Structure 1
Amino acid sequence: MNHGFARRVAALVLVSVGGAALPAAAQKAAAVTDTDRAMARAILEEAIATPTAKGRGQVPVLAEKFAKRLREAGFRDEDIQMLPVEIDGEKTVGLVVRYAGRNPAAKPIAFLGHMDVVDALKENWATDPYVPTEKDGYIYGRGSTDNKAGVTALVATFIRLKKAGFVPERDLLLAFSGDEETGMLTTRKLIEHPWVARAEYALNSDAGGGSVTADGKYDFNIQAAEKTNASFAISASNPGGHSSVPRPENAIYELADAIKKVQSVRFPVEFNEITRIMVTDLAAEKGGALGAALTTLLANPTDAAARAEVEKYPQYSNLLQTTCVGTMLQAGNAPNALPQNATLTVNCRIFPGTPVAAVQAKLVEAIGNDKIRFALIGEAVESPVSPVNPALFATLQRSVRKVYPGVELKPSMSSGGTDGREFRKRGIPTYGAGALPLRMPEDSRAHGTDERVPIAAYLRQLDYWDALLRDLGSRAK
Structure 2
Amino acid sequence: MPVDPARLCAELIRFDTSNFGEGKSNGERDAAEYILNLLTKAGYDAVLLGPEPDRSSVVVRVWGTDSSLPGLLVHAHLDVVPAEPEQWSMDPFAGTVRDGYIYGRGAADMKDMVAMTLATLLNWAEAGVRPRRDIVVAFVADEEDKGDYGALWLAAEHPELFAGVEAAIGESGGHATLLEAVDGSEVRLYPIAAGERGTLHIRVRAEGVSGHGSRPVPVNAVQNLINALQRVGSYSWPLVLTPVVRRYIEETTAALGFSADLGSDAGVEAAIDAMGEAGTVAGVTVRCSSTPTVLRAGYKVNVIPGVAEADVDIRCLPGTEEDTLATVRELLGDTVSTTFLSHQPPVQSPVDSPWFEAMRGALLRHDPQAVVVPMCMGGGTDAKAFAPLGIHCYGFAPLATDPEGRSIQGVHGVDERIPVAAVQGGQQVLQDFLTGV
Structure 1 residues 254 and 200, CA gap change in structure 2 (3 angstroms): closer
Please name the residue that 1:45 is paired with.
10
The reply to whether residue 415 of structure 1 matches residue 378 of structure 2 is yes
User: What stretches of structure 1 of length at least 5 have no aligned partner?
Assistant: 1-34, 298-302, 473-477
Deviation of 1:134 after TM superposition, in Å, equals 2.0
Contact 1:353 1:384 in 2 (8 A): no
Separation in 2, partners of 1:64, 1:361? 45
User: Which residue matches 2:163?
Assistant: 197
Q: 1:256 aligns with which of 214, 226, 251?
A: 226
CA contact (8 A) 1:273 1:388 kept: no
Give the match for residue 6 of structure 1.
none
Report how many residues are paired.
Answer: 418
CA distance in 1, matches of 2:226, 2:252: 37
C-alpha change, 1:468 and 1:362, in structure 2 (3 Å) is same
In structure 2, the partner of 1:102 is 65
Equivalent residue for 1:344? Answer: 310
Q: Which residue of 1 aligns with 2:35?
A: 66
Q: TM-score, normalised by structure 1?
A: 0.79
Tell me how far 1:426 sits from its aligned partner.
2.0
Is the 8 Å Cα contact of residues 131 and 436 (structure 2) preserved in structure 1? no
Q: Kindly, what percent of the aligned residue pairs are identical?
A: 28
CA contact 1:236–1:373 (8 Å) conserved in 2? yes
Residues 278-312 of structure 1, C-alpha deviation per residue, up to 9 Å, x if partnerless? 13235556799x944xx123xxxxx5x55787898
* Contact 2:176 2:191 survives alignment (8 Å): no
Task: Report how far residue 455 of structure 1 moved.
Answer: 0.7
Compare CA radii of gyration and give the structure with the larger one. 1
Q: SS at the partner of 2:362? A: helix
TM-superposed deviation, 1:131: 0.3
Task: Tell me how far 1:432 sits from its aligned partner.
Answer: 1.2
* Whole-angstrom CA distance in 2 between matches of 1:365 and 1:310: 32
Partner of 2:100: 137
1:452 is matched with 417
Partner of 1:373: 337
Q: Which residue of 1 aligns with 2:263?
A: 296
Flag the 1:311–1:248 CA change in 2: closer, same or farther, 3 A. Answer: farther
Verify the 8 A CA contact 2:249 2:272 in the aligned structure 1.
Answer: no
> Any idea what the Cα deviations from partners look like across 1:88-111, whole Å, max 9, x if unmatched?
xx6322211122223334322111
Contact 2:18 2:81 in 1 (8 A): yes
RMSD of equivalent CA atoms: 2.9
Mapped contact 2:281–2:377 kept (Cα < 8 A): no
Q: Is the CA contact 1:325–1:348 (under 8 Å) kept in the aligned structure 2?
A: yes
Whose helix proportion is higher, 1 or 2? 1
Q: Check whether the contact 2:28–2:79 (CA below 8 A) recurs between aligned residues.
A: yes
Rounded to whole Å, the distance in 2 between the matches of 1:349 and 1:327 is: 13
* Alignment correspondent of 1:235: 205
Q: Counterparts of 2:220 and 2:112 in 1: how far apart (Å)? A: 51
SS where residue 396 of structure 2 aligns?
A: strand
Q: TM-score, normalised by structure 2?
A: 0.86
Other-structure match for 2:276: none
Q: What runs of 5+ residues in structure 2 fail to find an aligned partner?
A: 181-185, 274-278
Contact 2:27 2:56 (C-alpha < 8 Å) held by counterparts: no
Q: In 2, distance between residues paired with 1:112 and 1:330? A: 36
Look up the match of 2:298: 332
| Structure 1 residue 441, shift from structure 2 partner | 11
> Structure 1's 147 and 315: CA in aligned 2 closer, same or farther, altered over 3 A?
closer
Given the alignment, which residue of 402, 418, 434 partners 2:365? 402
Closer, same or farther: CA 392–321 of 1 in aligned 2, 3 Å? same
1:316-337 Cα distance to aligned partner (Å, 9 max, x none): 3321121112223333332122
Distance (Å, rounded) in 1 between the aligned partners of 2:229 and 2:191: 36
Cα 1:392–1:308 shift into 2, 3 Å: closer
Secondary structure of 1:102 counterpart: coil
